[in-house]
């Protein structure tokens, strides 16, 4: 990611840790599932693998663990690289989907028209995560980060940056009651 | 009466054929794993904003991979003996 001269990253916004926690738990269950199924199956159908066959089953399990391990890190990469980098000039929206899709959008503060947050659901409300929508005057009208950590504070942070740049007078003058936000300078 | 999976499979395929197939399948898996690992490491080094976080991730990933491959290779050797 190339930054302009004098541009610094002030804040990074990622998906909430809960999203990653779900994947960690999922990976853990995926890892222990085969032995659980084997022992339940062995008990139910009274079969018993011995010698080469038991080694082959064990080898298949090691390979399964390696697949789970690799998948977990692919997810983690997706989680870590899929982020918003808020600089002193703009929002850099990096959309990472798996390993082979990466999209970078740059939203200068003076093109932002409105910022809305959406927190819906019990977990989202208690853990404070949700979607942030930034509406722009650019070609790509809206950039979104889903399940972002503490969307309200991110919204405030962006507004504060815009106030510092004299693009808006105060946060209260923007986006109230769904009305469109700060005008471009 | 308990069902012996080993005897049934051994009756269909010879042990040499099974071993050879398993070794080739394992080598194919190692190749695919290596390619995906290289792509992962490329992403971390090319796109990371924080070298420290990805340095730690790299270490954890590679250590875990080595441990798991060690287990797999030992099991494979036990199959061949």
- pTM, 2 dp: 0.80
Distances, alpha carbon A21 to alpha carbons A16, A75, A120, in Å: 9, 11, 19
A33 and chain B: CB distance < 8 Å anywhere?
no
ipTM of the complex: 0.81
Question: A20 vs A76, A128, A144, A180, CA distance in Å?
Answer: 7, 15, 19, 33
Mutate to test the interface with B, among A44, A47, A59 (most CBs of B within 10 A): A59
Partner B contacted by A42 (CB < 8 A): no
Q: In the prediction, which pLDDT does A53 show?
A: 80
Cβ-Cβ pairs closer than 8 A, A with B, add up to 88
Instruction: Tell me whether residues B2 and A46 touch, CB distance under 8 A.
Output: yes
Beta-carbon neighbour count of residue B50 at 10 Å? 11
* Phi, psi torsion values for A162, nearest 5 degrees: -70, -35
Measure in Å the smallest separation between the Cα of A164 and chain B Cα atoms. Answer: 25
pLDDT at A167: 78
Side-by-side strand order, sheet with A83-87: A9-13, A83-87, A90-97, A101-108
pLDDT one digit per residue (tens) for chain A, 185 residues: 678 888 889 999 999 999 999 999 999 999 999 999 988 988 888 777 777 788 888 999 999 999 999 999 999 999 988 999 999 999 999 988 888 888 888 899 988 988 999 999 999 999 999 999 999 886 667 888 999 999 999 999 999 999 888 777 665 555 444 434 444 33
B5 → closest Cβ in A53, A77, A99 = A53
| Substitution target from A31, A56, A61 for chain B, most B beta carbons within 10 A | A56
Residues in chain A within 8 Å Cβ distance of B64: 69
Task: Count up the domains in chain B and report the number.
Answer: 1
Degrees to nearest 5, angle at CA A140 with A139 and A142: 135
| Chain B residues in contact with A75 (beta carbon < 8 A) | none
Place of tokens 């971390």: B44
Q: Which residues are CB-neighbours of B24 under 8 A, at least 6 positions away?
A: none
Q: Which residues of chain B have pLDDT under 70?
A: 1-13
> How distant, in Å, are the alpha carbons of A56, A89, A136, A158, B4 from that of A164?
65, 11, 19, 10, 75
> What is the pLDDT at residue A177?
40
Range of the domain at B64: 5-80
SS (H, E, C) B20-77: HHHHHHHHHHHHHHHHHHHHHHHHHHHHCCCHHHHHHHHHHHHHHHHHHHHHHHHHHH
- Cβ–Cβ of A47/B4 closer than 8 Å? yes
């Amino acid at each position: 990611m190339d930054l302009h001269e004098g541009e610094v990253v002030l804040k990074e916004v990622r998906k909430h840790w809960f999203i990653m926690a779900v994947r960690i738990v999922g990976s853990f269950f995926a890892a222990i599932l085969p032995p659980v199924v084997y022992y339940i199956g062995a008990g139910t159908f009274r079969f018993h693998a011995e010698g080469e066959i038991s080694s082959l089953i064990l080898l298949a399990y090691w390979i399964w663990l390696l697949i789970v391990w690799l998948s977990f890190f692919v997810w983690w990469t997706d989680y870590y690289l899929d982020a918003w980098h808020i600089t002193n000039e703009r929002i850099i929206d990096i959309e990472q989907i798996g390993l082979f899709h990466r999209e970078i959008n740059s939203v200068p503060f003076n093109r932002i028209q409105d910022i809305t947050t959406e927190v819906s659901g019990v977990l989202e409300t208690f853990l404070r995560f949700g979607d942030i929508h930034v509406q722009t005057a650019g070609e790509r009208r809206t950039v979104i980060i889903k399940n972002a950590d503490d969307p309200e504070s991110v919204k405030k942070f962006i507004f504060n940056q815009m106030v510092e740049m004299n693009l808006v007078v105060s946060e209260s003058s923007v986006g109230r009651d769904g009305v469109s936000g700060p005008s471009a300078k | 009466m308990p069902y012996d999976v080993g005897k049934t499979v051994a009756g269909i395929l010879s042990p040499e054929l099974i071993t050879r197939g398993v070794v080739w399948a394992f080598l194919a898996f190692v190749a695919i794993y290596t390619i995906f690992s290289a792509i992962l490491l490329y992403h971390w080094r090319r796109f990371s904003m924080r070298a420290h976080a990805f340095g730690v991730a790299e270490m954890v990933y590679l250590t875990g991979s080595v441990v798991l491959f060690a287990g797999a290779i030992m099991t494979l050797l036990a199959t061949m003996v």
